[in-house]
Chains A and B, each alone.
Chain A
Amino acid sequence: MQIIQQVLFVLLAGAASWLFYKKASEIRRNILLGKAEDLNDQPAVRWRNVVLLALGQKKMFQNPLVAILHFVIYAGFVIINIEVLEIVLDGILGNHRLFAEPLGSFYTFLINAFEWLAVGVILVCVIFLSRRNIIKLKRFISKDLNGWPRSDANYILITEIILMSLFITMNAADRALQLNGNAHYHDTGNFFFSGLLAPSLQSLGDSTLIAIERACWWLHIVGIFAFLNYLPYSKHLHILLAFPNAYYARLDAPGKMRNMPSVQNEVLYAMQPELAPADAAPPARFGAKDVMDLSWKNLLDAYSCTECGRCTAACPANSTGKLLSPRKIMMATRDRLEEVGKHINQHGSFQDDGKSLLHDYISVEELRACTTCNACVQECPVSISPLDIITELRRSLIMEESNAPHEWNGMFSNTENNFAPWKFSPDERDQWANA
């Protein structure tokens, strides 16, 4: 009987890991569809960003209360994984509480701490659920989140509550068995929360208790494997990608727009034709029309987005009722990238499907509303730049489609002819001294 459980467990763990690996490789492939960009300079600054932004959640602490709540879930996730390690080893080896004996009273302390954390996670999940569904915080009721994104957030919170409840119930049944003197369940000492429940369970009888303990153990670990494979399809992928995304964050001043060396050369050759190489091929495309025209960092950003909406809440265009929502820019980029990925899965490579990120996913009106103020970039807790995608798409609109409002066309021609965005004679540039 024991050996069947062990075999089942190993099969399950193997299948879960393989599925996760497969989807993770797909995501990696999708991200690398983006254009090359070298983001490996200044490793010391980059590691600092990982420690402060991803590990330390620095930007979350601009709102300390929410930061502490989020930290409980985050710590719960990271620290309770130590417990999962024991569960996995027990599953493979057919042990029960492998670490209990070698760690002794420290084990009791450790699991006790996990229980406190688990109860903390349950409480925070309830608070977060009510912020989304009862209090209806503005950034959580926005139409950006209609459909799957809204249920995704709720599913995760509910799953966490279930997983943590299973952990406590499992410990309670285990403790009840210990108190009943069952030989297989050696004494681990009393844990606070399960210790409160254990006495009332004692009367259930050993076989029922063992059934409860085993059921909780299996559901807990199956739940974790399911969660692992749910992650890549969910906004909760940020718990993994926040780390590389912080490492590869752009380190330039936020006001600096990415240069386009191809255009720079074209202009240089126009001004100094003698420098132009005879065989210079024109760039394939100016700016970004689809996800493949963006940088791989933009695409990593899209997969790292938690859809928390801090960017949109801070966006001056959005808060004055305009169509632009930086969060939606990120969600649209990810949706389009997933669609392109599916296309590649089916056909081996991407062929034109008659759609593009620009127009089909992100409209001209949204792009036109951006003031490039960097509020969205400033706000993002996981180092995402929606602004970079917006400006790349704007480049495509202007340089590929000549799609500009007529006032902008006027501004362009004034700048070109009079060297100022307004129609004034360049000869009058120093007239202010006499004004």
Chain B
Amino acid sequence: MKVNTMAELMMNGETPEILFWVGCAGSFDQRAQKITKAFATILDKTGIKWAILGKEEACTGDPARRAGNEFLFQMMAYQNIQVLNGYGIKKIVTTCPHCFNTLKNEYPELGGHYEVIHHTTLLQQLIDEGKIRMKEGGSFKGKRITYHDSCYLGRANDIYEAPRKVLEALDAELVEMKRCRTKGLCCGAGGAQMFKEDEPGDKRINLERTEEALQTGAGFIASACPFCNTMMTDGVKLNEKEEAVQVLDIAEMIAMNME
């Protein structure tokens, strides 16, 4: 796949419509790379002119800030904002709710003002505009899907409906978990928990959440966050259900069934 970086476009005197902020998970995590590729494929097919920062992108600083390391956060933010402003970036899309939250809510105060949207919102817009059309009788037709709300998308930024609307386009049967939307249960990765072991307790949070997802009897758990995806995938494995249940990002589901 040929992916343009901002630097390359700049050299050709071009500006993209939208910057795809890939995020660290999307760049380096083997599972999340598939989500990145799926979303990149969708962008390509819709004819949108897009680019990435590539080597110039750096961690937004979200895990550092939430762990308490404000110095490191400010350093990362300072560098990223310099790069983004240097390219005159106006609009950013990202597949990571943590990057989304930081870029959208925390960078403006530090001098970074962009229109930031999460990929599920963009997907919904593209479906509504008819730029994404789904195959007749796609692979999820009539299948049971349950959507796991990401805390940083839902409670933190009030985005509950866009991911569900996108899933509706798959013509599948959407089933909700006992705890969903504002009552949703965390996957256990936020607040820099991804980067350490759980504190002592009765159970790991991702296991609790996965069990709730499995109780719906859905064959697919839809996620909209690479960290949620990892946590739920681990949970499914620990339940020895990987034969029956698949954890997929919404972008992957759409990419599989686009015309």
Chain A residues at the B interface, C-beta cutoff of 8 Å: 252-257, 259-260, 263-264, 266-268, 271, 286-287, 314, 316-317, 319-324, 365, 368-375, 377-378, 391, 394-399, 404-405, 407-408, 410-412, 415-416, 419-422, 424, 426-435
Contact = CB atoms under 8 A, between A and B. Distances in A.
Contacts of A253: 101, 104-105, 156-158
Contact of B190 (A259, A371, A412): A371
Given A432-B22, A432-B36, A255 B157 contact: yes
Contact of A419 (B58, B65, B105, B156): B58
A371 B22 contact: no
B198 A322 contact: yes
Interface in B97-138: 101, 104-106, 109-110
B75 to A, nearest CB: 5
Contacts of B67: 394, 398, 404, 408, 411-412
A374 B105 CA distance: 15
Interface residues of B, number: 74
A4 to B, nearest CB: 59
A420 B55 contact: no
B65 A370 contact: no
A75 B79 CA distance: 55
Of all A-B residue pairs in the complex, the 6 with the closest CB atoms, nearest first, are A255-B156, A321-B202, A372-B191, A398-B68, A394-B68, A419-B58
Contacts of B198: 320, 322, 369
A394 B66 CA distance: 8
Contact of A257 (B27, B28, B40, B106): B106
Contacts of B74: 260, 263-264, 266-267
A299 to B, nearest CB: 20
Contacts of A404: 67-69
Given A263-B71, A371-B186, A428-B28, A322 B201 contact: yes
A429 B27 contact: yes
Interface string B39-59: 010000000000010110111
B202 A415 contact: no
A57 B70 CA distance: 36
A43 to B, nearest CB: 21
A322 B71 CA distance: 28
B68 A391 contact: yes
A408 B196 contact: yes
A266 B71 contact: yes
Nearest to B193: A371
B205 interface: yes
B75 A320 contact: no
B156 A254 contact: yes
A375 B33 CA distance: 29
A397 B152 CA distance: 24
Contact of A415 (B26, B59, B188, B191): B59
A53 to B, nearest CB: 15
Interface string B184-196: 1110111111111
Contacts of A398: 67-70
Contacts of B1: 433-434
Contacts of A428: 27-28
Contacts of B204: 320
Contacts of B191: 370-373
B37 interface: yes
Contacts of A411: 63-64, 67, 192, 195-196
